[in-house]
Structure 1
Amino acid sequence: MHIVIIWQRFLPYHVARLARLARRLAESGPCLTAVEVASSDDSYAFPGAFPKENGFEHVCCFPGSSYHAHTSDGIFKAVSAILENIRPDIVFAPATPFPEGMAAVTYRCRSATRVVMMDDAWEHTDRSGLLTRFIKRQIHRNIDVAFIPASSHREYYRNMGFPEDRIVCGVDVVDNEYFSSAADAARNKGKELRSELSLCKNYFLFVGRFLERKGIEDLIDSYIAYKTAAEDPWDLVCVGAGPDMDAIRKRAADIAGIQVVGPKYGDSLCLYYAFASVLLVPSRSDPWGLVVNEGMACGLPVIVSKGCGGAKTLVLEGENGWTYEPGDTSALTVLMQRANKLPPGSLRRMGDRSRAIVSEWSLDRFVEGVLAAVKLSRRSAAGVIADFFVKLWKGHVIIT
């Protein structure tokens, strides 16, 4: 059996998932090819180095260029050509809004292959109208399996045309072992590293792209209110980059206690997770929010907006953190005050609970999801209307 997995661009968590899958497949025989559309993009600023020793074949359609520098037609044709050349038995691909996703579905319609859609959209993030949803449901009839993050997303995919027995979970995971060990190693050098990074004893941490939908303006509003009321306020450290970076830096410059440190990756990022007291994820709208996984793997309590798709699954109220309605800055302020008043021992116990919860969402969970999808048969013929929309729609290039 030949398995192909396609993503726009391979970020560190993609590579970790693929490497773990390749290790498991090496025991049973299937061949794995990972297809990367382009080696960079305009959404994420991760460094582009790809490890050479990873246990799977790596093919890049547009090496040395950005995904967003190409047209949807160009991406569709490039991915289609690779699939025609490889002729896989099963293809795991992004959702149908994207040209690489539609290339996989179109290839399925002219071959005997099966297609698994990897997606993490849900009711809160899908703002499409009735007509668009109707077309999606029709196209989905030509997709064999939906590979989604967790059961919290199941109802949405049932409503989008997938039978219950064709939905598998585990698509959104990170390398928990890496984050946990890197954070612990940093804590073992506590005083020295804190001094180098100019970090205070206690601070809230934000990690993410500086975009309106990530809620960072809401976070700053809440922090101002929190700082005004708290007797011994913690700092707020913001890690990341994005289109709103300059505006956030300018606003934060006049607020004592806020540090905007810019983008950090890998071991450098883990230093900020290691010494934080609580991770804040204020997203107004987010399909999942992998920073929640990362922070929990590092042993942090979390405060997460319900606009974040991972909140229902990863946050147990009062056990490892709290959730609140997206955009409710007053509620976020109250939760920051609550965390601030907890003794260190309580915060540590919540952090330990975070690690226990996220351990259920490891790289192995991704592998089990892939293997479960591989076992499912090809769906029956979708019909003329479904096939028509597959021919009509080729996806579009968007910045997420």
Structure 2
Amino acid sequence: MRILVIHQYLWSHYKGKIYSELQKIVDKHKQDELLVLQTSINELTRAKLGPADRSIHQYNYQVLVEDYYENIPNWKRAQKMLYWVRKFKPDVVNVSGYYEVAMNLVVFYCRLVGIKVIISVDSTEDDNPNIWWKEAIKRFVVNRAHGFFNYGSKATEYMIKFGAKPEQILLENNAVDNQKILSIYKEALPDREKKKEELGLRPFNFIYAGRLMAIKNVANLLISFKSLGNKDWGLIILGDGAEEQKLKQYVADNQVEGVKFIEGQAWYNVPKYTALADVFILPSYSEPWGLVVNEAMVCSMPVIVSNKCGSAHDLVKQGENGYTFNPYDTNELTEVLRKFVEKPEQIKTFGQASKEIIKKYSPEQVAQEMYDGFKKVTHEN
């Protein structure tokens, strides 16, 4: 079985781990071969988060263009993708999404020449406004696939709506490098109190980690935090982006105390700051999944996640390891924050629940389910 995977960015460290695990499985079967095409090095919005770490990509891969994704025209992407499809002669191709012209051309070409197609889906119905003609195009592309690797149950619901059959759902999982994240977190813990003192942090802290963009809804998070008015709790905002100055101005103008802004970090530094906090928050208006939730749960943290994030529906067990909320309702978020402020003793029990829940969301498990999916669509035993 010859497996070809087409992905967008080499920078995606979590995918690097999953593909590395997939390579290990493939190597156990001498008749199988894996090739991963990375379209680009990174995307422009993540340019400040550090270069792609090639050392974590322990699998057979090719970078199609050594540039940022947005700088590569669709025709060039399609040309290079189709070149490798013809050269590698795969039995099955896994493409990322159904929204990019070049990827869709690969789908149509594969169907034309009899190559099986699996689409990786990170979208949900809540992601973007659903315009009828765009939905029609999505439906057309989706119905060309033989199977789907979905990032959670909400993505599956979306594909079923478009006509995918339940037996075509080959994966409902998404993972980070659990072991690496936990290792970095544990290394940082002994210096936790010292570092908190250096940064002027409060005894307890909520933390948001991600880009500072309007869709991430950090503005409403600040409004909700301000309403708490508790001097024992602070808020760490880790990241940078277009909204940074606006958010800082709000804090200054409204004299919101206890907020600490920290510049964006490379992925391997984020757990060091997670170690300084107690409860993780992802307040986004829209998020296909939100892998930062996985990372926080690996570090045994309670999580507060917007119900517009895909991971909220699979990873958050209400009242057990965290809470979900309506991102448009600042009062609701304030009340959820207050649950931890009033009962900080539940932080540990919620964190332990997170640690247990996240165990099955591992790169090893994702890789195995991917391999099983490839075997299923190619009808090999």
- TM tier, smaller: over 0.9
Aligned to 2:211: 209
2:376 is aligned with 1:376: yes
Deviation of 1:58 after TM superposition, in Å, equals 1.7
Aligned to 1:191: 193
**Distance in 2 between residues matched to 1:109 and 1:343, nearest whole Å:** 56
1:290-324 residue CA offsets vs partner (Å, 9 max, x unmatched): 11111111111011110111101100111001111
Aligned to 1:362: 362
Given the alignment, which residue of 212, 223, 226 partners 1:224?
A: 226
CA contact (8 A) 1:118 1:171 kept: no
> Scaled by the length of structure 1, what TM-score is found?
0.88
The aligned amino acid for 1:238 is I
Deviation of 1:171 after TM superposition, in Å, equals 4.7
Q: Per the alignment, in what secondary structure is the counterpart of residue 48 of structure 1?
A: coil
The aligned amino acid for 1:121 is S
2:294 is aligned with 1:293: yes
Deviation of 1:236 after TM superposition, in Å, equals 0.6
CA contact (8 A) 2:142 2:162 kept: yes
Judged with a 3 Å threshold, the aligned counterparts in structure 2 of structure 1 residues 208 and 55 are, in CA distance, closer, same or farther, namely closer
**Number of aligned positions between the proteins:** 374
Aligned to 1:239: 238
**Distance in 1 between residues matched to 2:80 and 2:200, nearest whole Å:** 47
**Distance in 2 between residues matched to 1:54 and 1:71, nearest whole Å:** 25
Aligned to 1:77: 79
Aligned to 2:141: 139
Aligned to 1:14: 15
CA contact (8 A) 2:104 2:141 kept: no
**Distance in 1 between residues matched to 2:34 and 2:200, nearest whole Å:** 45
Deviation of 1:378 after TM superposition, in Å, equals 6.1
- Higher normalized contact order (CA 8 Å, seq sep 6+, divided by chain length): 1
For residues 1-400 of structure 1, the aligned pairs below 5 Å read: 1-10=1-10, 11-29=12-30, 30-45=32-47, 46-52=49-55, 54-63=57-66, 65-227=67-229, 230=230, 232-254=231-253, 255-344=256-345, 346-377=346-377
Deviation of 1:152 after TM superposition, in Å, equals 3.8
CA contact (8 A) 1:210 1:243 kept: yes
CA contact (8 A) 1:306 1:324 kept: yes
Deviation of 1:196 after TM superposition, in Å, equals 4.4
**Distance in 2 between residues matched to 1:36 and 1:100, nearest whole Å:** 13
**Distance in 1 between residues matched to 2:99 and 2:268, nearest whole Å:** 34
**Distance in 2 between residues matched to 1:102 and 1:253, nearest whole Å:** 47
Deviation of 1:12 after TM superposition, in Å, equals 1.0
RMSD: 1.9
| Identity score, percent | 24
The aligned amino acid for 1:319 is E
Greater mean deviation of Cα atoms: 188-197 or 274-283: 188-197
**Distance in 1 between residues matched to 2:61 and 2:375, nearest whole Å:** 24
Post-superposition, which runs of at least 4 consecutive aligned residues in structure 1 deviate over 6 A? none
| Structure 1 unaligned blocks of 5 or more | 380-400
The aligned amino acid for 2:29 is S
**Distance in 1 between residues matched to 2:305 and 2:294, nearest whole Å:** 11
Q: Per the alignment, in what secondary structure is the counterpart of residue 323 of structure 1?
A: strand
Q: Per the alignment, in what secondary structure is the counterpart of residue 359 of structure 1?
A: helix
**Distance in 1 between residues matched to 2:62 and 2:142, nearest whole Å:** 26
**Distance in 2 between residues matched to 1:49 and 1:134, nearest whole Å:** 36
The aligned amino acid for 2:58 is G
Q: Per the alignment, in what secondary structure is the counterpart of residue 121 of structure 1?
A: coil
Deviation of 1:350 after TM superposition, in Å, equals 0.7
> Scaled by the length of structure 2, what TM-score is found?
0.92
